[in-house]
Amino acid sequence: MIFSLKDKVSIITGGGSGIGKAIATVFAQQGSKVCILELNKTSAEEAVNTIRHQNFHAKAYPCNVAIHQEVKETVDAIVNEYGQIDILVNCAGIAHIGKLDNTTEADFDRLFNVNVKGVFNAMQVAVTHMKNQKRGVILNLASVASTVGVADRFAYTMTKGAVLSMTISVAKDYVKEGIRCNSISPGRVHTPFVDGFLKANYPGKEEEMFDKLSKTQPIGRMAEPVEIAHLALYLCSDEASFITGTDYPIDGGFIKLNT
């Protein structure tokens, strides 16, 4: 089977909803033993149950990726249970709307702790095990905001720029140890976060604003989470064994066609 992940152990942070849940589901369908690290225990269990009902393997691990010791204990437990870690996908992240002058220090720290430190924590612990194995794949979720300016997204853009830089650095430092590291930069994706944002900020005008946001992608719509998951599957599969240190925009033409 092409793009098979049979017998591979995958850790997916933020795998309880949105893009992370789609990646967890697709990876499980391709034969991976999926381990979901998620702050929200309820959403993690719901994702796991959905996958198990399809007769695939998944397990939930409550974990705050911003706390290094929690990440270390959780990943170490997974390796002790399964004997290996083949794939790490960093999906856990939070958003923030605001410019420099109306971003508080608390907002900045909160975004940094989850979106940057969380990725650092997971990669550092995973790399320790991958080095011993002499193999491994890391995939980070960056954003179009990593490379182009997105209005009213100062703190978020800061964190995603850091994710992109960390990806390249890790790829360079560990290429000779059999570890690949890449990133994906999605444009707007239709997730529960988008629906919640529109409901909270544009009550009664959700459809109008959804259409407006969709049209910021030249292709005319938002991506579906499974479309991001399919790219993630390729990059984490053996078919992509020659790819490392690369960022892949998946944005409906947002970066190239809007400039």
Tell me how far apart the alpha carbons of residues 225 and 242 are, in angstroms, rounded to a whole number.
25
DSSP the chain: -TT--TT-EEEEETTTSHHHHHHHHHHHHTT-EEEEEES-HHHHHHHHHHHHHTT--EEEEE--TTSHHHHHHHHHHHHHHHS---EEEE-------B-GGG--HHHHHHHIIIIIIHHHHHHHHHHHHHHHHT-EEEEEE--GGGTS--TTBHHHHHHHHHHHHHHHHHHHHHGGGTEEEEEEEE--B--HHHHHHHHHHSTT-HHHHHHHHHTTSTTSSPBPHHHHHHHHHHHHSGGGTT--S-EEEESTTHHHH--
Catalytic residues: 156
